[in-house]
Amino acid sequence: MRKVVIFNKTKKWWHETPDLDLLNSQIAEIESDNWKVISVAANTNLFGIIASFTILIESIGN
């Protein structure tokens, strides 16, 4: 089974860019829960600033 996850949490409410440290820790948590990360794509706003990430994950095993 595959799922698409949108990650858009920021460090501070006034920052536009996502928190990469939190993204990396959530990817590690996803992988420890028997999910495999297939791809990570950056989503930008109209000014070309990264606003979020789209993550494609796949279940391992069951």
Predicted local distance difference test score (pLDDT) of residue 11 = 78
- Per residue in 28-59, pLDDT tens? 999 999 999 999 999 999 999 899 999 999 99
Pick the residue with more confidence: 10 or 58?
58
Q: Compute the radius of gyration of the chain from its Cα atoms.
A: 13
Q: Residue 10 in contact with residue 16, Cβ under 8 Å?
A: yes
Name the 3-class secondary structure at 2.
Answer: strand
- Exposed/middle/buried for residue 50 (C-beta within 10 Å: 0-12, 13-18, 19+): middle
pTM of the model: 0.81
Mean pLDDT over 10-26 rounds to 84
Predicted local distance difference test score (pLDDT) of residue 62 = 62
Domain boundaries, the chain: 2-59
